[in-house]
Chains A and B, each alone.
Chain A
Amino acid sequence: MRALVVDDDSTNRIIHQTLLRKLGVKSLEMVVNGKEALDIHSSGQTFDLILMDMDMPIMNGIQATKELRAMGVRSMIAGISTRAEGEAIQEFINAGLDDYQEKPLTSSKLKSILHKISHLMDN
């Protein structure tokens, strides 16, 4: 499985990377905003899972998710944010998320995301 972590915060990036590795995801890339997420896809790389932060400079997670879907990216995109509720979360989900989790991301939250992916792959 290949994963992409999109987050402008270095503390979150290292935690998400370690959580993914601990759960067996060995192949992963990290970028710091939505535009870099688009660029890495434009360069031809593909991922099974994208962990997408919502609030980022240059391009936020909502815009990046919309544009990735418009590019035809079918990877599972899981939105991650400290926001618990509200219109922004709904907008993020409507942009094309498959899953949304409130920060902090934990092993059990990540396991539930990975479980969804394996379920999709089985079907």
Chain B
Amino acid sequence: MEVGQMQRTWVEYIKSLFREGFLDSQFSQLQLLQDESNPDFVVEVVTLFFQDSERLLNDLTRVLEFPNVDFKKVDAHVHQLKGSSSSIGAQRVKNSCIRFRMFCEERNIDGCLKCLQQLKEEYYTVKNRLEALIRLEQQIVAAGGSIPIEELTF
């Protein structure tokens, strides 16, 4: 694929991520922070988000397996995931966390387990989409092009 075509694909792809609610304006803020002095900023942040989120999802799975669930601990993990997903603009993950915390407040184990499942689905979906976006960006840069952020008008 030639560079121009890859850039157009990138624009359409990222617009679809915003349109479908996977990402919100906070992700655009991160893209604007990336510059020549910090060219890998978005990849670094997204990679940290993946590492932290997977650790938190594993912790949540373990805590909810105990016979006497420590809801305070569950809430602390979900709260942390809500904070980091909000900071990178992973809107659907953040919204899942908000629902999860409501069930946690009610000490509703079935509701929490359902929310955990939904949270994992949202997380792995956005992870796949972001990885595809990053791969496309790397292909554009490897072919000598630049990421056409200026074409992102909503």
A-to-B contact residues, CB < 8 Å: 8-12, 14-15, 18-19, 22, 53, 55, 57, 81-82, 103-107
Contact = CB atoms under 8 A, between A and B. Distances in A.
Nearest to A8: B80
A103 B33 contact: no
Contact of B83 (A9, A19, A22, A106): A9
B49 interface: yes
Contacts of B88: 11, 15
A118 to B, nearest CB: 22
B80 A55 contact: yes
B82 A82 contact: yes
A18 B49 contact: no
B26 A82 contact: no
Nearest to A80: B83
Contacts of B41: 18
Given A18-B41, A104-B26, A104-B89, A12 B83 contact: yes
Given A82-B86, A107-B29, A11 B48 contact: yes
A60 to B, nearest CB: 10
Contacts, number: 56
Contact of B29 (A11, A55, A106): A106
Interface residues of B, number: 23
Contact of A15 (B45, B51, B52, B80): B45
- The majority secondary structure among interface residues of chain B is helix
Given A14-B44, A15-B45, A55-B76, A82 B83 contact: yes
Interface in B27-74: 29-30, 32-33, 38, 41, 44-45, 48-49, 51-52
Given A11-B45, A55-B83, 10 more contacts: A8-B80, A11-B48, A11-B49, A15-B88, A81-B83, A82-B86, A104-B86, A104-B87, A106-B29, A107-B29
Given A14-B45, A15-B87, A18-B38, A9 B80 contact: yes
- The majority secondary structure among interface residues of chain A is mixed
A44 to B, nearest CB: 30
A9 B29 contact: no
B129 interface: no
A50 B79 CA distance: 22
Contacts of B44: 14
B139 interface: no
B95 to A, nearest CB: 12
